[in-house]
């Protein structure tokens, strides 16, 4: 079956702009995660959804970052007033229930000029 | 605090065996994962250990000692395509993975 998909694959924006990154998890997976990965680093946890609700958003760096999953499937990560420091690869992962193996999407490379 | 340590880089020869170590200190422990990540691609799942001991899966094996906070990934019969970053990740007390910085493995002919 299809894996985790993310769109767009690349996003270039200007400082101060608003961006939305989309994640389509594996069908039937109830848990969805967002991570941010900078060059030479491991993925850094941002937020975890179980179904429609954000079960843990402790990794969001500040209130410019927000994520939703209104129907318990597709999720959107929203970043307001982007800053150059937000440039990174944003990874999405899903798992069947939550406490099991996470499968990653290809990521969205965000560049803020 | 939470800390996961693994070597930054390693080099090995095609056909050889390489061991990548990972030590961790986390709040709680519910399992340890190894992922492989090729440059510009998503991490792909390799192994999961929750009990002490060795888990073997083809050319890849992973070992865990919970009392020592230690794991290793063993790659046998190295191939050029094994050149990648190998990420150690721990499932702590909460439902999120804490990743190490990754070990960049270069396999040379």
Mutate to test the interface with B, among A3, A31, A42 (most CBs of B within 10 A): A42
What is the DSSP track for A20-64? EEEEE--TT--EEEEEEE-TTS--EEEEEEETTEEEE-TT--STT
* Contact assignment for A43 to B87 by CB distance below 8 Å: yes
* Contact assignment for A56 to B48 by CB distance below 8 Å: no
3-state helix, strand, coil in chain B (%, to 5): 5, 60, 40
Q: Provide the CA A22 distance to its chain's centre, in angstroms.
A: 7
Nearest-CA distance from B42 to chain A in Å? 5
Nearest-CA distance from B47 to chain A in Å? 9
How many A×B Cβ pairs under 8 Å? Answer: 53
* Contact assignment for A102 to B97 by CB distance below 8 Å: yes
Q: Along the 109 residues of chain B, how does pLDDT read in single tens digits?
A: 689 999 999 999 999 999 999 999 988 899 999 999 999 899 999 999 999 999 999 999 999 999 999 999 999 999 999 999 999 999 987 778 899 999 999 999 9
């Amino acid at each position: 079956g299809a894996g985790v998909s993310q769109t767009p694959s690349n996003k270039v924006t200007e400082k101060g702009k608003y961006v939305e990154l989309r994640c389509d998890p594996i069908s039937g997976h109830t848990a969805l995660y967002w991570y941010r990965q900078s060059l030479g680093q491991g993925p850094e946890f941002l937020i975890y959804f179980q179904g429609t609700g954000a079960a843990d958003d402790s990794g969001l760096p500040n209130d410019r970052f927000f994520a939703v999953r209104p129907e318990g499937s597709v999720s959107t990560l929203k970043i307001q007033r982007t800053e150059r420091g937000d440039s990174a690869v944003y990874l999405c992962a899903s798992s069947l229930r939550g406490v099991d193996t996470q499968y990653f999407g290809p990521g969205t490379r965000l560049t803020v000029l | 605090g939470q800390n996961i340590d693994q070597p930054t880089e390693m080099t090995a020869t095609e056909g050889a065996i390489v061991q990548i170590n990972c030590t961790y200190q986390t709040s709680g422990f519910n399992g340890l994962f190894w992922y492989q990540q090729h440059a510009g691609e998503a991490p792909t799942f390799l192994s999961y250990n929750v009990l002490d001991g060795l888990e073997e899966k083809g050319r890849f094996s992973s070992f865990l000692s919970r009392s020592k906070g230690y794991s290793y990934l063993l790659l046998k019969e190295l191939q050029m395509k094994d050149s990648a970053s190998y990420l150690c990740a721990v499932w702590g007390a909460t439902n999120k993975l804490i990743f190490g910085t990754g070990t960049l493995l270069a396999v040379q002919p």
